[in-house]
Amino acid sequence: MRLAAVGSNCIDYYNNIDGGKAFPGGGPVNMAVYTLRLGGEAAYIGPVGDDVYGQIMIETIKAKGVDTSHLRVEKGKTAVTQVELIDGERVFGDYDEGVLEKYKLTDEDIDYIKNFDVVICDVWGKVEGQFKELKEKGIVTAFDCATSPDSEESVKAIPYTDYLFYSVDTGDTKEVREQMERIQKQGPKLVICMMGEEGSLCYDGERYHRFGIVPCDHLVDSMGAGDSYIAGFLTGIVDGLSIEGAMEKGAANATETLKYFGAW
């Protein structure tokens, strides 16, 4: 698969690790890296600031093999999320979106994205309003709503999204299935709900598909697990796997990420 990962990137700054430690990430960036791990190709299209964190982001994802030819360096700050580890759990603090605040794809960016199998953005990526244009140009689209499929950003993207992802912590309930059906009727080919330890659920407009998890023999950190699932699922779909096969590929990719600290 050739993945165009668009929009948000973020430095996760852990205040209480070694006096402060910065980890590059953000949903689309993570998905690009995980696609490469699966043997695919990926580009990241988005903005970083002209600060130290921006340089860290560029150098780190380049080293992973991500195409950064359409990454933009803008005057200002790179997006940063403050994180603390408390009893092994991540507690998220302030978020400064920096130069991401006013980001938009250019015509040149969109022409470039047309060369890829799928374009993925998330709810923080600032380009949901351009999904209609992407779709009209024949680009296969995917969107990660995180936990907010009813947010303003998600609502804008959903009608023009082929593969719609979101997460819940309630498991497979009647309410979740009704929500998936409402979303699917608005446009997506597939709606995929990620349910953590309960696996995932996919609705194709006619029936539900369910897959559990691939057991992890050494759980270290869940950071990036959802992004890994999305990269695996999309790779499976592009490679011609069945829905269940794509769900299994996503679950297996997520399990790999659980085995180490940080997203990648």
Task: Indicate if the alpha-carbon torsion angle 122, 123, 124, 129 is positive or negative.
Answer: positive
pLDDT in tens, the chain (264 residues): 999 999 999 998 887 777 778 889 999 999 999 999 999 999 999 999 999 999 999 999 999 999 999 999 999 999 999 988 776 567 888 999 999 999 999 999 999 999 999 999 999 999 999 999 999 999 999 999 999 999 999 999 999 999 999 999 999 999 999 999 999 999 999 999 999 888 999 999 999 999 887 666 666 555 667 899 999 999 999 999 999 999 999 998 787 765 455 556
Q: How many CB atoms lie within 10 A of CB 206?
A: 6
* Domain residue spans of the chain: 2-258
DSSP for 216-263, written as a single string: -SS----TTHHHHHHHHHHHHHHTT--HHHHHHHHHHHHHHHHTSSS-
The total number of residues shown for the chain amounts to: 264
8 A C-beta contact, residue 82 and residue 95? yes
Confidence at residue 186, expressed as pLDDT on a 0 to 100 scale:
97
* CATH T-level topology, domain 2-258: UDP-N-acetylmuramoyl-L-alanine:D-glutamate ligase (3.40.1190)
